[in-house]
């Protein structure tokens, strides 16, 4: 694909391209925001409790882990790769962390156990990156393999026993938090800030986009695809570990099924958020809005009180929401095109 | 020059592959036929035990009992299942075991319709198939090892809740189930409804978070915010029960909203001790695994035939068979007073 593009011409165009695209992509965020607000209004009319602080505090806490990992996966997708193993990685890290720092387990101090978990996550991420960049195996295949392998490893580590004695201090921080702000929210804010700086203010960010939009021209410009890919996968591994540390202690126990379908949720958020699956463009704000939208669906269904028969349709309704988000977007895209009279990409 | 050699080589490879495949299949049918006739004799019986989800403590405790029975009866026990509760993976495993020629497959189907055809094919190939923990379609298995009748569980849950709340309490209750297709949970819900209708409690809604701990926690938090007059939550799967208890504890409404459901005692000790959960129910899961293997053995040995009314199962003694259901017996009610006596 990439060698079909004239590398030099493409490299010369980014300024005009950029302006037009940012205009277009901004529409994605408009569409998502509109959908979020509209849903809030409709559900708010049905039951005003939905708009209360305590409900939204919970929703944001649930968003945190997804947002953290989505920051990493988004960059992976921007470079033209994909990572569908984050759910299994989360389960493995939760199991390892649980075994390390829980009472009556290996009894390792939190001060060692938590950095070790972060290290392990990063290491597995870098390993994935190695297979993809050095080994030249397509990332979908590598991470598909890891999806199963890591889950299997988790089952072995758990040995059929749940872990429910994480240190009191950590669970308190995860549930009540520092000055009332749960740990996961603090971590998410930090990660979003960091990722935003990375994308907008550091050359590395621009290089990732360059690599994703045309691997060939990136190579001609002297960028190392290997190093960039090692970075994005390592970063995703690190963020998955961070999400595990701040989010899992909220749950009643650590069991082998933790994080199941999490990878699908994250990918959905990245795609609905407007990141091109072929790489090269996509914005953090779109992804974050998509995270909020996707996390909202479950509480929305509860507050709409759709009744017993309706509840059975939960999954179908979730799917329709995703379609709705994408359709709204392409609707906007078309209007933009016809009104502007210019054709893009 | 090299072309003919390539062709010859590829033909040779193709022939050898096909030859092998043919040879293999004839071998497997041979062994399964053999075991069907010789299973009662000297041949070591191979039994595959398929849980709904591998790696969760509920099924691990069942496996403990199954291992005990396998040791007692000299059975080669295979224990495997999907880690995410995917019924399609269950079907694949059944197909694989059929090819491997195991003697008995014991299935806890996650979605009866999805695994039914694999189970029927296994039966057609001469493998005995039984269900345990959850029943499948009638023609896909010969017997069902029934841990407790749906009636006993549904009424047990509602009665335990009424006892804890006081029989005249008015207000809403919510059921947090597993998936909308979970056969067990649906059967229990059907028996809970009439029992609730007799009380002053109103069933406000039923949620289906799947076998996902985050969703179970989220759904429970949402119903607590949504229904101000909520008195109780039934968490009727091993994932949704602790999720509901955690949500009530985090909301600071422990004691005001009671949580009740089915769980292994080890998983719930924490919540019983802090008062979020006053009582909950379950059958003896270790015994369920133990009985399943005994039924498998009796079936393979020809001791258990359709129409039987009782079965002797090792240390459990004489158990009754109702229709094609082998009954495990009474359910257990766990409270703060007795929970420390159990370890599973």
Interval A26-75: pLDDT, tens: 567 888 888 899 999 999 999 898 999 889 999 999 999 999 999 999 99
> How many domains, in total, are found in chain A?
1
Whether residue A343 lies inside any domain: the answer is no
What pLDDT, on a 0 to 100 scale, did the predictor assign at position A15? Answer: 54
What pLDDT, on a 0 to 100 scale, did the predictor assign at position B47? Answer: 94
**Predicted ipTM of the assembly:** 0.83
| Binary contact (A152, B83; C-beta < 8 A) | yes
Structure tokens, A40:
């809030």
Q: Coil, helix or strand for A102? A: coil
Query: Percentage of chain B with pLDDT > 90?
Result: 47
Average pLDDT over residues A177-185: 86
Q: Which chain A residue's Cα is nearest to B79? A: A160
Mean pLDDT check: name the lowest of A107-121, B21-35, B61-75, B274-288. B21-35
Instruction: Give the whole-angstrom CA distance, residue B85 versus residue B56.
Output: 10
Average pLDDT over residues A300-308: 85
Instruction: Give the whole-angstrom CA distance, residue B57 versus residue B213.
Output: 14
Q: Please state, rounded to an integer, the average pLDDT across all residues of chain A.
A: 85
Contacts of B59 in chain A (CB under 8 A): 160
Query: Percentage of chain A with pLDDT > 70?
Result: 87
Contacts of B192 in chain A (CB under 8 A): none
Test the B interface: residue of A66, A160, A294 with most B CBs within 10 Å: A160
| Spatial contact of B264 and B280, defined as CB atoms under 8 Å apart | no
Q: Is any Cβ of chain A less than 8 angstroms from the Cβ of B243?
A: yes
B210 contact partners, CB below 8 Å, separation of at least 6: B85, B178, B179
Interval A240-270: pLDDT, tens: 999 999 999 999 888 888 888 899 999 999 9
What pLDDT, on a 0 to 100 scale, did the predictor assign at position A244? Answer: 95
Q: Which chain A residue's Cα is nearest to B217? A: A251
- CATH number attached to the domain at B150-282: 3.40.50.2300
Q: Is any Cβ of chain A less than 8 angstroms from the Cβ of B149?
A: no
Q: Please state, rounded to an integer, the average pLDDT across all residues of chain B.
A: 84
Interval A10-21: pLDDT, tens: 444 455 655 665
CA angle A306, A309, A314 (to 5 degrees): 65
Please report which confidence band the pLDDT of residue A330 belongs to, taking 50, 70 and 90 as the band edges. low
Residues in chain B: 344
What residue spans in chain B does CATH classification 3.40.50.2300 cover? 43-147+285-328, 150-282
Write the secondary structure of chain B as one string of H (helix), E (strand) and C (coil).
CHHHHHHHHHHHHHHHHHHHHHHHHHHHHHHHHHHHHHCCCCCCCEEEEECCCCCCHHHHHHHHHHHHHHHHHCCEEEECCCCCCCHHHHHHHHHHHHHHCCCEEEECCCCHHHHHHHHHHHHHCCCEEEEECCCCCHHHCCEEEECCCHHHHHHHHHHHHHHHHCCCCCEEEEEECCCCCCHHHHHHHHHHHHHHHHCCEEEEEEECCCCCHHHHHHHHHHHHHHCCCEEEEEECCCCHHHHHHHHHHHHCCECCEEEEEECCHHHHHHHHHCCCECEEEECCHHHHHHHHHHHHHHHHCCCCCCCCCEEECHHHCEEEEECCEEECCCCEEEECCCHHHCCC
Q: Which chain B residue's Cα is nearest to A65? A: B214
Checking if the pLDDT of B323 tops 50, the result is yes
Count of Cβ atoms closer than 10 Å to residue A328 Cβ: 18
Checking if the pLDDT of A22 tops 70, the result is no
| Spatial contact of A229 and A79, defined as CB atoms under 8 Å apart | yes
Contacts of A90 in chain B (CB under 8 A): none
The highest-confidence range among A119-123, B85-89, B175-179, by mean pLDDT, is A119-123
- What CATH number is attached to the domain comprising A43? 1.10.3470
Contacts of B219 in chain A (CB under 8 A): 298, 302
Whether residue A341 lies inside any domain: the answer is no
Q: Which chain B residue's Cα is nearest to A254? A: B213
| Binary contact (A253, B56; C-beta < 8 A) | no
Checking if the pLDDT of A121 tops 90, the result is yes
Test the B interface: residue of A255, A297, A300 with most B CBs within 10 Å: A255
Count of Cβ atoms closer than 10 Å to residue A162 Cβ: 22
Domain B43-147+285-328 belongs to what topology?
Answer: Rossmann fold (3.40.50)
Please report which confidence band the pLDDT of residue B322 belongs to, taking 50, 70 and 90 as the band edges. confident
What secondary structure letter does DSSP report for A249? G
Please report which confidence band the pLDDT of residue A106 belongs to, taking 50, 70 and 90 as the band edges. confident
| Binary contact (A299, B243; C-beta < 8 A) | no
Interval B236-261: pLDDT, tens: 988 899 999 999 999 889 889 999 99
| Binary contact (A257, B85; C-beta < 8 A) | yes
Instruction: Give the whole-angstrom CA distance, residue B305 versus residue B302.
Output: 7
Instruction: Give the whole-angstrom CA distance, residue A312 versus residue A293.
Output: 21
CA B225 to chain centre: 32
What pLDDT, on a 0 to 100 scale, did the predictor assign at position A39? Answer: 92
Checking if the pLDDT of B283 tops 70, the result is yes
Q: Is any Cβ of chain A less than 8 angstroms from the Cβ of B235?
A: no
Instruction: Give the whole-angstrom CA distance, residue A263 versus residue A70.
Output: 9
Angle, helices A53-78 vs A225-247, to 10°: value is: 160
What secondary structure letter does DSSP report for A81? -
| Spatial contact of A73 and A86, defined as CB atoms under 8 Å apart | yes
| Spatial contact of A297 and A317, defined as CB atoms under 8 Å apart | yes
Domain, as residue range, for A32: 2-14+22-336
CA angle A107, A109, A115 (to 5 degrees): 125
Q: Is the dihedral of CA A181, A187, A190, A196 positive or negative?
A: negative
Structure tokens, A213:
């939009």
Query: Percentage of chain B with pLDDT > 70?
Result: 88
| Binary contact (B83, A251; C-beta < 8 A) | no
What pLDDT, on a 0 to 100 scale, did the predictor assign at position B81? Answer: 92
Average pLDDT over residues B149-156: 87
Higher per-residue confidence, A271 vs A306? A271
Structure tokens, B105:
């497959």
Interval B11-51: pLDDT, tens: 555 544 444 443 333 333 333 333 444 444 457 899 999 99
Q: What is the pTM of this model?
A: 0.77
Checking if the pLDDT of B331 tops 90, the result is no
Pairing mode of beta strands B279-282, B332-335: antiparallel
Instruction: Give the whole-angstrom CA distance, residue A281 versus residue A297.
Output: 26
Q: Is the dihedral of CA A185, A190, A196, A199 positive or negative?
A: negative
What pLDDT, on a 0 to 100 scale, did the predictor assign at position B225? Answer: 92
Checking if the pLDDT of A344 tops 50, the result is no
């Amino acid at each position: 694909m990439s060698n079909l593009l004239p590398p030099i011409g493409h490299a010369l165009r980014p300024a005009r391209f950029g302006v037009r695209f940012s205009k277009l992509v901004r529409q994605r965020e408009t569409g998502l925001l509109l959908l979020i607000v509209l849903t809030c209004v409709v559900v708010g009319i049905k039951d005003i409790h939905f708009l209360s602080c305590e409900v939204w505090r919970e929703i944001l806490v649930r968003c945190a882990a997804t947002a953290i990992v989505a920051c990493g996966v988004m960059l992976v997708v921007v470079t033209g790769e994909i990572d569908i193993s984050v759910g299994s990685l989360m389960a493995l890290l939760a199991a390892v962390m649980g075994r390390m720092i829980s009472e009556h387990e290996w009894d390792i101090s939190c001060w060692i156990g938590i950095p070790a978990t972060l290290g392990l996550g990063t290491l597995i991420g870098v390993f994935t990156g190695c297979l993809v960049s050095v080994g030249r195996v397509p990332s979908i295949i590598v991470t598909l393999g890891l999806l199963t392998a890591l889950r299997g490893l988790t089952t072995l580590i758990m040995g059929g026993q749940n872990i429910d004695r994480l240190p009191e201090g950590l669970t308190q921080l995860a549930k009540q938090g520092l000055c009332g702000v749960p740990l996961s929210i603090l971590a998410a804010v930090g990660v979003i800030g960091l990722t935003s700086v990375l994308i907008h203010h550091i050359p590395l960010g621009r290089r990732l986009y360059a690599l994703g939009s045309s691997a060939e021209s990136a190579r001609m410009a002297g960028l190392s695809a290997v190093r960039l890919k090692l970075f994005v996968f390592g970063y995703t591994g690190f963020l998955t570990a961070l999400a595990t540390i701040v989010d899992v202690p909220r749950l009643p126990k650590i069991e082998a099924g933790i994080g199941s379908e999490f990878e699908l949720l994250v990918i959905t958020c990245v795609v609905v958020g407007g990141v091109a699956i072929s790489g090269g463009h996509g914005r953090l704000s779109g992804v974050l809005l998509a995270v909020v939208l996707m996390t909202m669906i479950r509480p929305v269904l509860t507050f709409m009180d759709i009744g017993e028969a309706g509840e059975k349709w939960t999954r179908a309704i979730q799917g329709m929401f995703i379609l709705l988000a994408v359709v709204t977007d392409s609707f906007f895209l078309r209007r933009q095109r016809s009104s502007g009279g210019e054709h893009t990409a | 020059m090299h072309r003919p050699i390539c062709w010859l080589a590829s033909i040779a490879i193709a022939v050898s592959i096909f030859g092998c495949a043919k040879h293999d299949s004839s071998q497997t049918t041979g062994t399964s036929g053999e075991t069907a006739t010789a299973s009662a004799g000297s041949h070591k019986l191979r039994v595959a035990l398929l849980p709904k989800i591998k790696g969760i403590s509920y099924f691990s405790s069942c496996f403990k009992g199954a291992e005990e029975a396998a040791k007692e009866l000299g059975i080669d026990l295979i224990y495997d299942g999907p880690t995410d509760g995917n019924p399609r993976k269950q079907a694949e495993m059944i197909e694989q075991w059929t090819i491997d020629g195991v003697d008995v497959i014991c299935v806890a189907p996650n979605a009866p319709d999805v695994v039914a055809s694999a189970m029927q094919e296994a039966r057609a190939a001469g493998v005995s198939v039984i269900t345990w923990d959850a029943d499948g379609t009638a023609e896909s298995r010969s017997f069902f090892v029934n841990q407790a009748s749906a009636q006993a569980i549904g009424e047990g849950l509602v009665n335990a809740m009424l006892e804890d709340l006081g029989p005249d309490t008015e207000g809403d209750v919510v059921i947090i189930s597993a998936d909308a297709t979970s056969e067990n949970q649906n059967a229990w819900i059907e028996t809970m409804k009439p029992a609730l209708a007799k009380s002053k409690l109103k069933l406000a809604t039923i949620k289906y978070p799947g076998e996902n701990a985050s969703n179970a926690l989220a759904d429970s938090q949402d119903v607590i915010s949504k229904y101000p007059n909520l008195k109780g939550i039934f968490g009727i799967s091993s994932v949704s029960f602790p999720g509901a208890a955690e949500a009530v504890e985090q909301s600071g409404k422990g004691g005001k909203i009671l949580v009740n459901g089915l769980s292994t005692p080890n998983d719930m000790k924490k919540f019983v001790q802090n008062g979020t959960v006053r009582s909950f129910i379950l059958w003896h899961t270790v015994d369920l695994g133990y009985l399943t293997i005994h039924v498998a053995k009796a079936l393979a040995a020809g001791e258990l035939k359709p129409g039987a009314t009782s079965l002797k199962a090792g240390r459990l003694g004489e158990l009754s068979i109702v229709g094609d259901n082998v009954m495990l017996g009474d359910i257990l009610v766990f409270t703060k007073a007795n929970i420390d006596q159990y370890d599973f």
